[in-house]
Structure 1
Amino acid sequence: MAWHDDDEVGRDSALAIARHLDRPRTAYDVEVKGGHVWHCSLSLRADEGALTDEQWGAIARDFITAMEFDDNEGTKAPCRWVAVRHGVSTNGNDHIHIAVNLVREDGTKASTHHDFRRAQTAARALEAKYGLEELESVRAERSTRGYNPAEREAQARARARAKHERSRSKLGADAPTWEALAGDDRQALIASELRTDQPRYLLALKVRAASTASDSEAEFVRRMRRSGLLVRPRYADGRTDVITGYSVAERPQAGERPIWYGGGHLGRDLTLPRLRDGWPDTVTGASEAADEWNAAKRGRRVVAPGREASEPDPELWDKRNAELSQLV
């Protein structure tokens, strides 16, 4: 805005901007594992219309501050960054692209730790500040702890794009790039990846429900088995009484083999050490849990049924369901 105002940015001007953005990295000769450019896009729904350049500029600056790529109130050297606006997308979404040089102006590196979560938090704050439409899944409060619809779609989009670029490299230069694909074609590829991810997502819901309802690790194992899951523990070397992790799978259909997922692959909050933080740590509890894990491993009956065996009264269940519906 300051350098070019409304002028068209030609190739020479664009290269001059790029050299300016990249100067801290080249001056200090700093290498960043995975690449020194951090990129994301901020997009509106098509029916929200378009913002002015000034509005997008203010949003971009607030976003950079929220992501801590700025000077952090004078405590760090800032990163050099650029926001690019080149019209609406194929689907009619007004948007900008943000590119950040992760090498700060003093040669130190900016952190991208938990950048997806931080970006989502920043986006929610910007929606509220600038009166923009909230993400639909947030407005409906459909997200679940550790795994939400927006994250699933973002991951599916990344996988779809990577697969398309790999197939394009085999087909040759005539194959369209990801950006050149029609919006409907891109959405079809993303939807395909979402369907592929569905078993893991549903497993995570069941395991998370079992962990939330359980008062102990032994009850957690029993609840997973009660929901129809196959469960197997991971033991410490040479031990059968010390469990360090677990895997789960849906019961396979006839002729199929079970597909196992470790707790950490279902969600960061579903690793066994994280789950144990919410249960009492006693010698008796550890022994009871080991018995249930071993029974699950061998496909035997549960050792000591507990709270999970009590089914809610049907009338009480209907009453609570009606009350919840009214609350929602």
Structure 2
Amino acid sequence: MEGLLTQPLARLGERNYRKPVWHLSLRAAPEDPVLTDAQWAQAAWEVMTRTGLARPENDDAVRWIAVRHAPDHIHIVATLARTDGDRPEVWNDGYQVREACRVIEERFGLRRTAPADRTAAKRPKRGETEKARRRGWSEPPRTALRRHVATAVAGARDEAEFFARLQEQGVLVRMRFSRQDSGEMTGYAVALPADRTADGRPVWYGGGKLAADLTLPKLRHRWASPTVLRSRSTSELAARPAEGPVGRSPAEGYHPVSGRHLSASSTRAVLRTIVRQAADQA
């Protein structure tokens, strides 16, 4: 059996995936009914069909097996090489697997689980985790920033208060503005003061790099009447700088926050951040 599974890999040669084996475990919840072998077979085919790895009518697909060695789960193993000599596409296969699970849950009356809505938090990369460990941080910056942003969102009534709360927490904030309309803010990025590159620049994370539901458009949708922050005149908190704190021009998206909608304490917090960022740039 092993020989039959691995035969197509030889045809791909150097085009093989670095990890040519695709493995998935499907497990029912303890309270779910015990599925028959035929039902587990249907579940396996649902997964393989949804991912595009194999279909019942397609003899040129990948070779795979499903093994049931306990009443409540199966293992699916496939080699990532099609028998027609092509390499299968597995990009974003997790979302297809999630959709297959929803179909299986409904078909067999299993416990429903959350859909793949792509709003899950982004996991820190290995390098970020190792960096945090080397520096003695309790958690990677991405994780800490996600918590700061989520906390600020929960307590903010509008866009202006959201950014003020972030800066009150000591988080560096960088605004991204439209290239067509320099007064229209289209996004933001955050950084921790202690998290720097080798040349001393802050390591920025856009809202979408923290979680899909923390992008500025998603946050604006969350607020009933979003306040659009604009930088239009020198009468606001500060004049628009010639360059941002990391050597970017205003066209690349760094502008001060307008203070028109902020409380006195929030305005002071914003001013402290601007002064600190100016010092970083000097």
Residue 69 of structure 2: aligned partner: 86
Q: How far did 1:111 drift?
A: 1.3
Mapping for residues 197-212 of structure 1, pairs under 5 Å:
199=144, 201-203=146-148, 205-206=150-151
CA deviation string 1:187-241 (max 9, x = no partner): xxxxxx9999964553453466699x757xx776346446x461332889xxxx8
What secondary structure does 2:62 align onto?
Answer: coil
Which of 138, 147, 152 aligns to 2:120? It is 147
Distance 1:85 1:106, change over 3 A: same
Greater helix content: 1
What residue identity is the alignment partner of 1:147?
Answer: A
**Percent identity for Structure 1 against Structure 2:** 24
Give the equivalent residue in structure 1 for 2:172: 231
Instruction: Determine if contact 1:71/1:77 at 8 Å carries over to the other structure.
Output: no
2:229 aligned with 1:246, yes or no?
A: no
| Change in 2 beyond 3 A, CA 1:208/1:26 | farther
Q: 1:66 to 1:247 in 2, by over 3 A?
A: same
Distance 2:190 2:141 in 1: 19
The residue number in structure 2 matching 1:52 is 36
Secondary structure class of the residue paired with 1:122: helix
Distance 1:28 1:114, change over 3 A: closer
Q: Distance in 2 between matches of 1:261 and 1:219?
A: 21
State the match for 2:197 in structure 1: none
Match 2:210 to one of 255, 258, 266: 266
Task: Using structure 1 for the length normalisation, give the TM-score.
Answer: 0.49
Q: Is the 8 A contact 1:229 1:248 kept in 2?
A: no
1:34 aligns with one of 14, 18, 24: 18
SS in 2 for 1:100: strand
Number of aligned residue pairs: 219
For residue 105 of structure 1, what is the aligned residue in structure 2? 83
Matched letter for residue 190 of structure 2? S
TM-score, with structure 2 as normaliser: 0.56
When residues 265 and 80 of structure 1 are mapped into structure 2, their CA distance, relative to the original with a 3 A threshold, is same
Please, what is the CA RMSD of the aligned residues?
Answer: 5.0
Q: Which amino acid aligns with 2:37?
A: D
**Mapped partners of 1:59, 1:34: distance in 2:** 28
| Residue 131 (str. 1) matches residue 75 (str. 2) | no
Structure 2 unaligned regions, length at least 5: 131-137, 195-201, 222-227, 246-255, 264-282
Q: Which moved more, 1:194-203 or 1:39-48?
A: 194-203
CA drift at 1:287: 3.8
Q: Distance in 1 between matches of 2:94 and 2:50?
A: 12
Uncovered stretches (5+) of structure 1, i.e. residues with no partner: 1-16, 89-93, 164-192, 252-258, 279-283, 310-328
5 Å-filtered alignment, 1:274-285, equals none
Aligned-partner SS, 2:104: helix
Q: Which has the higher contact order (CA 8 A, sep 6+)?
A: 2
